A and B are shown apart, each in its own frame.
Chain A
């Protein structure tokens, strides 16, 4: 068993595992770890591991009260980019759907796009140099932006 304690795991429900793998690896810089289409695949970006679970995966089974898991909602990955305008232009060109336009604030710019199943992904370009280490309270605004 190989385990990396630094890995952060996030699960997204998807309608089509193959389309999701293609989207995340082609458009957002993830690399494929394992692919058990049509049930499940996982991809990674840095030390983020994104689990993509289809309807036939163990995570796709109904809850005890009958509720059926599915894609969508508003909770999302927050991906840092160096040049949000360039990323948006590139993704627009590839036919990716967006929920809004770029919103600019004092801490940076952000936009919300969707994967092929309609799951949200937030791109964020900080105004200053982003620090991956915890920032101090005095430097963070209400959008989660931090500046040095």
Chain B
């Protein structure tokens, strides 16, 4: 009987390693791979006083997209892989009041960074539409960056890579 031509394509049968140690090691390795490759969307929460004004600002001027809006107290925006949660502080549900009654406020200095190709022209066009800058003197090491504010006074940093800018690959 002639050999089946498909035999040439079949993989050889390899006996399975019977030791439980191998199975345990394999399981550990698979779990590690799963953990290291697990990715969640980087998310940051900003507090704003006026939700409509905030959504308009982020979507019209900074390239965000509105994903979710829940009444006038919460919204979820996306810009690439960045998820921005906007919350209106208060005693309502989702207002993030602390147990002692302290309410979160917009502002502070911690901020999201947005990379732009041409910082000077971006600053110029944003200034023309009335965007407020905390600091419009480009500065930095490896980058040039400026700091602007949303309508509630939250900071947003724009940066342009300069000579020597290095970012380690994932």
Contact B169 A2 (CB under 8 A): yes
**A-facing residues in B51-109 (Cβ within 8 Å):** 67-71, 73-74, 76, 78, 80-83, 85, 87, 89, 92-94, 96, 98-99, 104-109
The answer to whether A47 and B44 touch across the interface, beta carbons within 8 angstroms, is no
Residue of A with least CB distance to B159 = A9
On whether the beta carbons of A137 and B69 are closer than 8 Å, the reply is: yes
Check A64–B137 contact: CB distance below 8 A.
Answer: yes
Q: A92 within 8 Å of B by Cβ?
A: no
CB-defined contacts of B141 to chain A, threshold 8 Å: 40, 58
A81–B73 alpha-carbon span in the complex (Å): 24
Number of inter-chain CB pairs below 8 Å: 164
On chain B, the number of residues with a Cβ less than 8 Å from chain A's Cβ atoms is 62
Which of A4, A10, A136 lies in contact with B42, CB distance below 8 A? A10
What distance in Å separates the Cβ of B13 from its nearest Cβ neighbour in chain A? 38
**Known A63-B134, A73-B108: A46·B45 in contact at CB below 8 Å:** no
B135 cross-chain contacts in A, Cβ below 8 A: 63-64
Chain B residues with CB under 8 Å of A142's CB are 70-71, 73-74, 87, 92-94
Is the Cβ of B43 less than 8 Å from the Cβ of A1? no
Is A78 in contact with B45, judged by CB distance below 8 angstroms?
yes
Chain A nearest CB, measured from B111 CB (Å): 6
Could you tell me which A residues sit within 8 Å of B by CB distance?
1-13, 33, 40, 44, 46-49, 51, 58-59, 61, 63-65, 67, 69-80, 99-101, 105, 112, 119, 122, 130, 132, 134-137, 140-144, 146
Interface residues of B (CB under 8 A from A): 38-47, 67-71, 73-74, 76, 78, 80-83, 85, 87, 89, 92-94, 96, 98-99, 104-115, 134-135, 137, 139-141, 145, 147, 154, 157, 159, 161, 165-170
